[in-house]
Structure 1
Amino acid sequence: MKDILRDIGVIARALESISNIEFKEIDLAKGQFVYLVRIYENPGIIQEKLAELVKIDRTTASRAIRNLEKNGFIYKQADATNKKNKLLYVTEKGKSIYPFIIRENEHSNSVALEGFTKEEIETLSAMLKRVNNNISEDWHLVKKGNKRHY
């Protein structure tokens, strides 16, 4: 079987590395843009759902959220129905840099997909969504302290 996950990993790391360098000028630390975009697109999301959305452990998500809040990009608000939950929102400062992040993302997409037809892009997108769905169950299993059976 072809090891496509290796290629996906290389692509993801390369693009994240580029983003981290380019986003230094707007004071976003390593990987924080991912969280900021998801909070912007899902106002009022709680940390647990955010961590699940980006497939990262809660400790890493907590650190990123704390740094984004400290740097004025997001704020927390108590949930009226469940006081344990803190709802996450983007501040005006965070909103002001969102368009820059999206432009960078769109540029990266256009570079990565250069030479692909519209149909190929649609097929690739659908296949990657399937891959994501396929790994989701294992991700949840392992995050809950279980072991996968090889």
Structure 2
Amino acid sequence: MMRAAFDRRVRRLGLTRSQWLVLSLLHRRPGVSQSELAEMLEVERAAAGRMVDRLERRNWLVRRPDRLDRRVNRLYLTAEADAVQAEMGRIAVELLDDAMAGLGAEEREALSDMLERVKAQLQGMSPRAASSPDARPGLSP
């Protein structure tokens, strides 16, 4: 429901869900390859490529060659996309405030604490955490 509400609010920016997901991922992990992006989005590489092409045409991302492997391009947001990302952040904060409007400050804090504990538990259950000798539940990825 939160994603659907966010979709409605960012529509005025001309963003689809797949586009705002790509922008968010590249904001957090600049320089990923198109294959890595496809894996993170859980889509086929061709589908990720079409998304990247559309965002590149809008001047929201650029492909830069990998220094070590000429066959790989790394993806980076442009300054224009950074501005869009900042607006998405403002919209997200506003949406969260609206969604939590019926909760008092103590209830918000309690909910946040509980969700952090659930997140830590889920991170501890992930295959990546299980295979990493120094992975500790509760740390952000």
TM-score (norm 2): 0.70
> Which residue does the alignment assign to 2:96?
109
Matched, 1:120 2:107: no
Structure 1: runs of 5+ lacking an equivalent: 1-13, 138-150
Determine helix, strand or coil for the equivalent of 1:82: coil
- Number of residue pairs matched? 124
Determine helix, strand or coil for the equivalent of 1:45: coil
Contact kept, 8 Å, 1:113 with 1:121, in 2: the verdict is no
Structure 2: runs of 5+ lacking an equivalent: 129-141
| CA gap 1:28/1:120 in 2 versus in 1, 3 angstroms | closer
TM-score (norm 1): 0.67
> Which residue does the alignment assign to 2:35?
48
Contact kept, 8 Å, 1:20 with 1:31, in 2: the verdict is no
> Which residue does the alignment assign to 1:90?
77
- Give, in angstroms, the shift of residue 132 of structure 1: 6.2
- Give, in angstroms, the shift of residue 27 of structure 1: 2.3
> Which residue does the alignment assign to 1:73?
60
CA separation in 2, counterparts of 1:73 and 1:54? Answer: 18
**Two-structure CA RMSD over aligned residues (Å):** 2.5
- Give, in angstroms, the shift of residue 90 of structure 1: 0.6
Deviations 1:53-85 (A, max 9, x none): 344443332222221111111111110101121
Contact kept, 8 Å, 1:79 with 1:86, in 2: the verdict is yes
Contact kept, 8 Å, 1:78 with 1:87, in 2: the verdict is yes
